[in-house]
């Protein structure tokens, strides 16, 4: 089971799981294709035996083989490394897990997202890929999702869910995951804050700040 699915909080649902675009494989593919072209050219243009030109055949084939092998290994490495990365937008937060040797997980509560920027080149717009940058409230204020498929869908889902539709609601018309009902007691709100802290939606500092404000209401 994937990291995101294993770490969902009770009542939390996945809205979107963006994926990397295949454009990330292009440099390695081009290297392998260059090896194939060089091998074909050496076979067609350089004599197999006889003459001074035939001495170039073996070095060209060796270089072609190295290029092809490097391209194949590059594609395999890219696929392996990318398989460890997971992105998700849920009803509570935005999750970015990355890292092959060292795991790095960013979890951004939806209410902390301040702005979303999509950066796409002309080729990116044609092929439907680009970078998504989230501006958040916090010390590490920028989170980048590089070269993902359909970045506009990422932005639209996030805006739909975070756009205020009314007091105490989320962007989809349901009750906000962090906004308790108006009739909730202080004890119930403390329990809710503790649950959100335990599931990673609230950081340690945010939890302590929320806890102190609720204690003052007692």
- Give me the residues paired with residue 148 across strands: 20, 130
pTM: predicted TM-score of the whole model, two decimal places: 0.66
The Cα 116–Cα 113 span in angstroms is 8
Average pLDDT estimate for 191-206: 72
What would the mean pLDDT of 193-203 be, rounded to a whole number?
Answer: 71
Query: What integer is the mean pLDDT of 158-169?
Result: 60
- Taking the C-alpha atoms of residue 15 and residue 89, their distance in angstroms, rounded to an integer, is 5
CA 85 to chain CA mean position, Å: 7
Q: At 19, is the pLDDT very low, low, confident or very high (cuts 50, 70, 90)?
A: very high
- Distance in angstroms (rounded) separating the CA atoms of residues 156 and 136: 17
Burial class of residue 138, CB neighbours in 10 A (0-12, 13-18, 19+): middle
Q: d(Cα 8, Cα 86) in Å, to the nearest integer?
A: 13
pLDDT of residue 128: 93
- Say which residue, 62 or 170, is predicted with more confidence: 62
Q: Among 60-64, 83-87, 92-96, which is the least confidently predicted range? A: 60-64
Q: Which CATH class is domain 3-20+85-179?
A: mainly beta
Kindly give the interhelix angle for 26-45 and 57-82, rounded to the nearest 10 degrees. 160
> Tell me, what's the pLDDT at 54?
56
Q: Report residue 92 as tokens.
A: 């509570």
Asked if pLDDT for residue 53 goes beyond 50, the answer is: yes
Q: Please write the tens of the pLDDT for every residue from 57-81.
A: 778 889 999 999 999 999 999 999 9
Q: Quote the Cα angle for 153-158-161, to 5°.
A: 125
Model pLDDT for residues 106-146, shown as the tens digit of each residue: 999 988 888 899 999 999 999 999 999 998 876 667 889 99
Q: Residue 112 has what pLDDT?
A: 87
**Is it the case that residue 48 has pLDDT exceeding 60?**
no
């Amino acid at each position: 089971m994937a990291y995101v699915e294993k770490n969902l909080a009770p009542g939390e649902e996945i809205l979107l799981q963006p994926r990397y675009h295949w454009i990330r494989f292009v440099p390695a593919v081009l290297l392998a294709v260059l090896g194939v072209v060089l091998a074909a050219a050496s076979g067609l243009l350089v004599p197999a035996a006889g003459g001074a030109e035939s001495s170039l055949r073996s070095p060209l084939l060796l270089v072609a083989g190295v290029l092809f092998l490097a391209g194949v290994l590059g594609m395999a490495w890219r696929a392996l490394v990318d398989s460890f990365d997971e992105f998700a937008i849920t009803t509570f937060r935005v999750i970015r897990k990355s890292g092959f040797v060292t795991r790095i997980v960013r979890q951004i509560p939806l209410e902390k997202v301040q702005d979303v920027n999509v950066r796409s080149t002309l080729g990116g717009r044609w092929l439907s890929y680009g970078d998504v940058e989230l501006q958040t409230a916090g010390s590490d204020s920028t989170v980048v999702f590089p070269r993902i498929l359909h970045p506009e869908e990422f932005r639209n889902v996030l805006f739909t869910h975070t756009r205020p539709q009314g007091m105490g609601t989320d962007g989809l018309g349901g009750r906000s995951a962090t906004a308790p009902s108006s009739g909730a007691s202080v004890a119930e709100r403390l329990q809710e804050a503790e649950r959100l802290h335990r599931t990673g939606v609230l950081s340690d500092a945010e939890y302590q700040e929320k806890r102190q404000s609720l204690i003052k209401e007692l």
